Structure 1
Amino acid sequence: MIEHFWKDKYPAGVASQINPDEYPNIQAVLKQSCQRFADKPAFSNLGKTLTYGELYELSGAFAAYLQQHTDLQPGDRIAVQLPNVLQYPVAVFGAMRAGLIVVNTNPLYTARELEHQFNDSGAKALVCLANMAHLAEKVVPKTQVKHIIVTEVADLLPPLKRLLINSVIKYVKKMVPAYHLPKAVKFNDALAKGQGKAVNEVSPDSGDVAVLQYTGGTTGVAKGAMLTHRNLVANMLQCRALMGSNLGEGCEVLITPLPLYHIYAFTFHCMAMMLIGSHNILISNPRDLPAMVKELSKWKFTGFVGLNTLFVALCNNETFRKMDFSGLKLTLSGGMALQVAVAERWKSVTGCSICEGYGMTETSPVAAVNPAEHNQIGTIGIPLPSTLCKVIDDNGKELALGEIGELCIKGPQVMKGYWQREEATTEILDADGWLKTGDIAVIQTDGYMRIVDRKKDMILVSGFNVYPNELEDVLATLPGVLQCAAIGVPDEKSGELIKIFIVARPGVTLTKDQVMEHMRANVTAYKVPRLIEFRDALPTTNVGKILRRELRDEELKKLGLKKIA
């Protein structure tokens, strides 16, 4: 019945199914695309562009180095800790061509987080930016990592420009703390040693793990989602089928501000867009908004992938608002809930609607998205081809259309499981392949879905369920609100009180009375916040997702209570 329901929900011209076995592995996709689009630009950063042909040549040199100058074997794990620089795709695809499993590692991780990830994954090699090498010095001796390859930001740029930029970063901006790693190899030296050498092209089975992608750890210890070649190839084909229907081959220019080590950006930019020969403009530091806007002004871009907080920041930037958006035909949002007010503002500024999608690390990551030509703002769209969705109650019983319950997903992009965590895997993934997302959702009769909230973020006020997303959507419509977050605070009488945090736009003064009046006019009485706090900034992840958990933990600490497990 579920399959029958979803079959006719796809727009004309979009098949309800893809063939996840169209390519045997990621290496096959890379080879085909780099041959087809050899002379087309693949990635640009800091004024340098790599063509697909150059990407294949450089990744081959890196693969040859790994095979001929280290003792790494197919199946070994290699941690790649790089921001959006040209070295990232070279290192990742080179590692894969050598048969290694990539462990995407956040460059902003602390020493404690790095130690956990390296030990949990059993990583034997590390590629890191010189800016973080001082942490590697502390952590590596406590792990199995034997091979370290260090790169500087501008290493793939022409010699003079490379020297200038790397020197400024190191000596003027002092962004490279001193480190001592005597056995480390420089990235460019590794490429030189592998240049022109034959690569023993490893061809893994489709069910072999390609990437160990660690979850953010917001619900406990970070776990490695085992994403197989088939998972990632399937999600690539699914994204192309539903997201890329209005994109041409070899002619699209996509802005890439989300970090490639995040699975959403990796699957979309490094795979789905590689399949159609798109040009990805790598933004190394999207938090430096003036520099990002300056870079955007150089390109007539046709696609933009971002998330709510980034859209807000850009729409508030006067220089960005004056740019030429005549080429922009696709804007995608993921990673956090897209507020309706933000979507409307982006449309008024750029003339392009935002297509919101939904996914998880565990689904490689995209599970649903709004088709570009059939966009419903306020929803996460429809499931990708070959994907089934349902909602269940607390007892696991499937609910009818229109009822609110926990969203479950089934499809070829669903992970193999958590690395060496069988118990955690069985908690989230059942024997029939259904993945429990922990998100509360409703499926409409037209097949479009709405996320109501995170199960664990739900606030319980006197027995009534209150969803932070709804409150934040309402707050975002109040003129003067730049960022906001809603959480539940323990209360003896009602179970929880609603507390909201607000960051006002620069130069705007908001009062508690104004906020309360706005909320009373837009939500029912039990949803009106009792506590309001104005702040200069809210805690966010490296991609700009607001961390409600940190705000809750702060409140619990004030009350002398333990943090949420």
Structure 2
Amino acid sequence: MSERLLREQQELLNKVSAEVGLKTQVDVQRFDNVVAIAEQAFAKFPTKPAFTSLGRTLTFADLDKLSRNFAAWLQHCTDLEPGDRIAVQMPNLIQYPVVVFGAMRAGLVIVNTNPLYSEREVEHQFNDAGVKALVVQANVAETTAKVLPRTGVKYTLVTELADLHSPVKRFLINNVAKYIKKIVPPYDIPDAISLNQALAEGAKHRYEPVHQMADTLAMLQYTGGTTGVAKGAMLSQGNLVANVLQVDELLETHSLTKEGQVVVQPLPVYHIYAFMTCVFSILNGSHMVFVPNARDIPSVVAALREYQPTTFCGLNTLFVALCNNEEFRQLDFSKLQVTLSGGMALSHNAAQRWQDITGCEVAEGYGLTETSPVVSSNPGTRKIIGTIGIPVSNTLVKIVDDEGQVQPLDEPGELCVKGPQVMQGYWQSPEETAKVIDADGYFHTGDIAKIRQDGFLQIVDRKKDMIVVSGFNVYPNELEDVLYAHEDVLECAAVGVPDATSGEVVKMFVVSKSGKLTAEEVRDFCRQSLTAYKVPKLVEFRKELPKSNVGKILRRELRDNS
């Protein structure tokens, strides 16, 4: 029964892919590794702008030269070897691609590290990954400096905000940050050197290419999931290359012009979603404009005004914040061709407001750290709000119940994914890997989804976020989507809390625009669209909701503190 259902569903998905113009198979072995993608771009687009931050732009030729110098420093001025891990701890700055592509050219494994991590989180990640080298931004070096003696890090490089600017601008920006804004706390890291010093030393040596095969480990991308200690997803060169080429094929359905693409990126590049947009932008010679802090809405608006992007990557909370900004609503969006959404569920209200203001539909997609990250997306030729589209090329999906049986169309179950973008496993955790990758090679996502009659996938909710009220399954995404339509709701999040009578009840956390919304008004509004057991029994108003580094609302934190 399961095999027949799986075959019929795959035939439906293939049929829909053909209708929307998405190839079910592409050559994901076109490049051996990510470095090959970059080096092709260096040769094809040398004079084009590649990356910009804080007003300074690197061309592809600049990125080629600087990343070669960094790779040469790693090869000739340290005893690091291919396969050793290097942590990169910085926000969206042009130094980031220099360091990452330089390290990859030297065959090192990238360990992206959130600059806002606590001492405990930094120490765990560095020790778990066996990090031997670190590049850290000076603004966050104070916290990291405290844990370095308890790690195996041998080489530490520090970079300041404007290190790759001209000497005058470098002096001004770095000193303003340090002495006027006072956003660079003092730190003590013995034997640390500056990134610029390493680049200068590396320029004196010859970079020696390191060949890396598709199964060579490229990154340890740490993910906390919904519970437990953060685990390192092992992403190979082949995983990353495959996902770049899968996304490239997907964007063919959006009829993007290849020339002159500009991407404004406010999401943090140490997160897999934004990281892969960087690699993808290099493939086609696009210009990526970094915004160092996505929560600084005026700076995001300023970047959009100055650079007028053709592509914008965001998520629900960012779309909501921007659409509530008066200056954003006055911008010229005539060049905006594609808006992509991921990272969390996109509400109907946020998608509609974005389209009304910008004239550009949002294409929602879905992915995870463990899948490099893209699994599916709405194609440019057919966008259906409330769905995550169809699987990208070379990707199989199945929906299973708790016993592993394939579910029929429109029946919810756990979404499982198989494809060349699925990770090799969790670093040094075979037991954890076995829990999520089954004998057939499918990764079990932990998300509840369904395949609709039209072949589009729809996320119902996180398996662990599901609320059970008197035996009935309640999915927070549905409740939040309803409440986001209320004109006075800026943000909201639904969680389940224990209840002696019904097992759990729905509690809704709400950020009111006016500050005058009442709990009864929230419940009355929900009653118009939801059956009685789904209506929030408890309502708590907050000035803001806790969010992850990419702006995803943290339901678990709200639930744990309820």
Q: Structure 1: how far apart are the matches of 2:249 and 2:122?
A: 36
Unaligned stretches of 5+ residues in structure 2: 1-6
Q: Structure 2: how far apart are the matches of 1:132 and 1:125?
A: 16
Matches within 5 A, 1:5-24: 5-10=12-17, 11-24=19-32
Offset from partner CA, 1:232-274 (integer Å, 9 cap, x none): 0000000010134422324101110111111111112x22221
Give the one of 241, 248, 264 matched to 1:255. Answer: 264
Offset at residue 513 of structure 1 (A): 2.0
Does residue 316 of structure 1 match 2:324? yes
Does residue 128 of structure 1 match 2:136? yes
Does residue 390 of structure 1 match 2:411? no
Offset from partner CA, 1:487-511 (integer Å, 9 cap, x none): 0000110000110010011x35211
The aligned residue for residue 521 of structure 2 is 514
Does residue 206 of structure 1 match 2:199? no
The aligned residue for residue 549 of structure 2 is 542
Does residue 415 of structure 1 match 2:415? no
Q: Structure 2: how far apart are the matches of 1:154 and 1:300?
A: 23
Offset at residue 432 of structure 1 (A): 1.5
Matches within 5 A, 1:22-171: 22-171=30-179
Offset at residue 426 of structure 1 (A): 0.4
Offset from partner CA, 1:513-544 (integer Å, 9 cap, x none): 21111011110011011101111111111211
Give the one of 376, 380, 389 matched to 2:384. Answer: 376
Offset at residue 187 of structure 1 (A): 0.5
The aligned residue for residue 530 of structure 2 is 523
Does residue 496 of structure 1 match 2:504? yes
Q: Structure 1: how far apart are the matches of 2:10 and 2:386?
A: 24
Q: Structure 1: how far apart are the matches of 2:306 and 2:224?
A: 34
Q: Structure 2: how far apart are the matches of 1:122 and 1:425?
A: 19
The aligned residue for residue 265 of structure 1 is 274
| CA distance 1:206–1:8, shift in 2 (3 Å) | same
Q: Is the 8 A contact 1:79 1:102 kept in 2?
A: yes
Offset at residue 14 of structure 1 (A): 2.5
Does residue 553 of structure 1 match 2:560? yes
Does residue 425 of structure 1 match 2:425? no
Offset from partner CA, 1:453-507 (integer Å, 9 cap, x none): 00000000000000000000011001110000000000110000110010011x3
Give the one of 347, 352, 355 matched to 2:360. Answer: 352
Q: Percent identity between the aligned chains?
A: 56
Offset at residue 196 of structure 1 (A): 5.1
CA RMSD of aligned residues (A): 1.1
Q: Structure 2: how far apart are the matches of 1:154 and 1:516?
A: 50
TM-score, with normalisation over the residues of structure 2? 0.97
Does residue 295 of structure 1 match 2:327? no
Offset at residue 293 of structure 1 (A): 1.1
The aligned residue for residue 228 of structure 1 is 236
Q: Number of residue pairs matched?
A: 553
SS of residue paired to 1:167: helix
Q: Structure 2: how far apart are the matches of 1:6 and 1:12?
A: 11
Give the one of 476, 481, 486 matched to 2:489. Answer: 481
Q: Structure 1: how far apart are the matches of 2:399 and 2:443?
A: 11
TM-score, with normalisation over the residues of structure 1? 0.96
Q: Structure 1: how far apart are the matches of 2:299 and 2:353?
A: 22
Q: Structure 2: how far apart are the matches of 1:80 and 1:88?
A: 8
Q: Structure 1: how far apart are the matches of 2:319 and 2:220?
A: 29
Q: Structure 2: how far apart are the matches of 1:196 and 1:258?
A: 35
Offset from partner CA, 1:139-192 (integer Å, 9 cap, x none): 111111000000001111111111111111111111111111120010101111
Corresponding letter in the other structure for 1:520: R
Offset at residue 217 of structure 1 (A): 4.6
Offset from partner CA, 1:377-405 (integer Å, 9 cap, x none): 11000000000111000000111111111
Q: Is the 8 A contact 2:268 2:294 kept in 1?
A: no
Q: Is the 8 A contact 1:27 1:203 kept in 2?
A: no
Offset at residue 133 of structure 1 (A): 1.3
The aligned residue for residue 334 of structure 2 is 326
Q: Structure 2: how far apart are the matches of 1:333 and 1:498?
A: 27
Corresponding letter in the other structure for 1:465: N
Moved over 4 A (4+): none
Unaligned stretches of 5+ residues in structure 1: 556-565
Q: Structure 1: how far apart are the matches of 2:61 and 2:475?
A: 49
The aligned residue for residue 4 of structure 2 is none
